[in-house]
Chain A
Amino acid sequence: MRIYAACVYLFLYTPIAIIALFSFNAGRHASQLQGFSVQWYGRALNNPFVMEALENSLVVAFTSATLASIIGTMAAVGLHSVRGPVRAVFDAIIYIAIMIPGIVIGIATLIALVTVFDVINPWIAAIWPRVEAAPQFSMGRGSIIAAHTMFTMALVVVIVRARLSSIEGALMEASADLYAPPWATFRRITLPLIAPAIFAGFLLAFTFSFDDFIIAFFVAGSETTLPIYIFSSIRRGVTPEINAIGTMVMVVSLVLLIVAQLILRSSDRKKSRK
């Protein structure tokens, strides 16, 4: 049994190790090791296309994770005290958002936004004082952020609601009995208790958005994100530079994961000390 487990771990980590190993390859050839070098990391970091894709990915991930955490938390808090059809409809929508394959969300967003933009843009041009300066909607960072926020918001709602339902209602009632206005109860009691869940939701949303390929592939328009850049490069052949980028992306996800764990744990510890 132990040997079996060891084999599974080997299976899980060998491919990752191979990418990291080949990213330090001195040779240009992607599949023969020819000594140690960090030149490919330098190349990747000096490649303007990579840096542009990285910037897009970071902006998209940060913005959509922030929006999703705020709007998702609001919705979770609202849903906590709502019953009846409103709640049922919300539950159904969140279920749909999580169940529908990412690829379908991608194409649906693509055709809906392109169609709507085609209708709206001439209107704006018509009412704008100077036609040539009229703003035009197009696919790009904005549409990726909107689509990622939609999906990750569903995740945040699920996580924060789970936390909310584990908090004792007595605490909030006590606060209300002591004449705390609802906002004070929320800020002094509820928010500190659900903060770790919101933060976990934020990080989850960030990693999802940063790693997402399929939704962005459809709605990015002429923009590139890092996963889109990596995918189109692989199509032309695997290079040590791509391995270097891949290794860096994996390290970033890992660091985020560890930070999230540490913060969640220290907040748990504080609570148990009290």
Chain B
Amino acid sequence: MTRRERNWLLLAPAAAWFFIMLILPLSFVFVFSFGERGDAGGYVAAFTLEQYANLPARFAAFKNTLILAPLGTAAAMLIAYPLAYQLAVRTDPKWRLILLVLVIVPFWTSILIRSYAWIYILGGQGIPRLLESIGIDDVRLIYTPFAVLIGIVYGYLPLMVFPIYVALDRLDKRLLEASADLGARPMTTFFRITLPNSIPGIATGCMLVFILLMGEFLIPALLGGGKVFFVGNALVDLFLQSRNWAFGSAVAMTLIVVMLVTVTLYMRLIARLNTQRDSDVSLM
């Protein structure tokens, strides 16, 4: 058996699996998005742009996703950064690993269970009841955009802390000392040295969280209570309730395109920030 034949044999099962379970299904979505809905649901072959013309019917889902996903990503980043900084720069190396593991562990337990815990905390018997006892009445938290935002931050915080931690950990700490020795105030050191050096970590974290949020279903389903719904919720509704496969496929295709466009724009922005930083450094 030649080396070439051996490689083909090694790659064939994975190639076949990816083709049947990924490429083929995705082409079905693409083809179906130009089709029509059957009388009893499902799909009837056709070539029409009708489904795409109908997209405004699900405008609210896209609007919610495109507002709450970036907002949730930004909130998670703002909460994660100081923690990652504390862990990477200020913590005794002896404790560093265990504290980092403690941040990541929740991410490896079911997001479903962790999200529904917030039904307790935000629901009528939770925080609103506590507020009532100190005299603040009629606070409604569950099934609001705020509840969804909390769920997002809670669910994806570990994913944000990790890459920022890695970036800050790689940062040569002697740079910080040098900056202080040269008389820079802590704030100056932070904005001139620490923050620019951690941008790749921030970028990775934001990207990971944002991509996952674009397809989110569970958090809005559990904490948004049908009032705050994402594209994911619209997709579940279209495929499992109303069985409108053609329109559902058009929504899914649009989601993928919107995602690709935002991610590409975002990467461009980060690349520009990085080159700017490099030229700043060379000026110094």
Q: Is the interface of B mostly helix, strand, loop or mixed?
A: helix
**What's the least CB distance linking A185 to chain B, in Å?**
12
Known: A22-B120, A101-B255, A111-B32. A227 touches B110 (CB 8 A): yes
Is B108's CB under 8 angstroms from A257's CB? yes
Is A249's CB under 8 angstroms from B109's CB? yes
**What's the least CB distance linking A73 to chain B, in Å?**
9
Is A218's CB under 8 angstroms from B239's CB? yes
**What's the least CB distance linking A16 to chain B, in Å?**
7
Assess whether A104 is interfacial by the CB under 8 Å rule: yes
Most A CB contacts (10 A, CB to CB) among B90, B118, B211, B215 go to: B215
Is B116's CB under 8 angstroms from A234's CB? yes
Which residue of A16, A81, A86, A104 is within 8 Å of B255 (Cβ)? Answer: A104
A101's closest neighbor in chain B, by CB?
B215
Assess whether B146 is interfacial by the CB under 8 Å rule: no
**What's the least CB distance linking B100 to chain A, in Å?**
11
Q: What are 14 inter-chain pairs, A to B, with CB distance below 8 A? A: A1-B85, A12-B157, A18-B117, A71-B17, A78-B7, A78-B8, A90-B15, A93-B23, A101-B212, A115-B28, A234-B119, A246-B110, A249-B109, A257-B108
Assess whether B52 is interfacial by the CB under 8 Å rule: no
Which residue of B21, B82, B240, B256 is within 8 Å of A150 (Cβ)? Answer: B21
Q: How many residues of B contact A (CB 8 A)?
A: 73
A: residues with CB less than 8 A from B are 1-2, 4-5, 8-9, 11-16, 18-19, 22, 30-32, 71-72, 74-75, 77-79, 81-82, 86, 90, 93, 96-97, 99-105, 107-113, 115, 146-147, 149-150, 153-154, 157, 182, 207, 211, 213-214, 217-218, 227, 230-231, 234, 238, 242, 246, 249-250, 253-254, 257
**What's the least CB distance linking A119 to chain B, in Å?**
12
Q: Which of B83-99 contact A (CB under 8 A)?
A: 83, 85-87, 90, 99
**What's the least CB distance linking B281 to chain A, in Å?**
28
Which residue of B3, B85, B222, B245 is within 8 Å of A111 (Cβ)? Answer: B245
B239: chain A residues at CB < 8 Å are 107, 110-111, 218
Is B28's CB under 8 angstroms from A18's CB? no
Known: A101-B259, A115-B43, A153-B14. A93 touches B117 (CB 8 A): no
Is A5's CB under 8 angstroms from B86's CB? yes
Is B217's CB under 8 angstroms from A214's CB? yes
B259: chain A residues at CB < 8 Å are 99, 101
Distance of A149 Cα from B13 Cα, bound (Å)? 12
Is B103's CB under 8 angstroms from A12's CB? yes
Which residue of B90, B110, B114, B218 is within 8 Å of A1 (Cβ)? Answer: B90
Is B235's CB under 8 angstroms from A231's CB? no
Assess whether B24 is interfacial by the CB under 8 Å rule: yes
**What's the least CB distance linking A6 to chain B, in Å?**
10
Distance of A12 Cα from B119 Cα, bound (Å)? 15
| Other contacts beyond A111-B25, A115-B28: 5, CB < 8 A | A100-B26, A109-B21, A213-B110, A227-B112, A250-B110
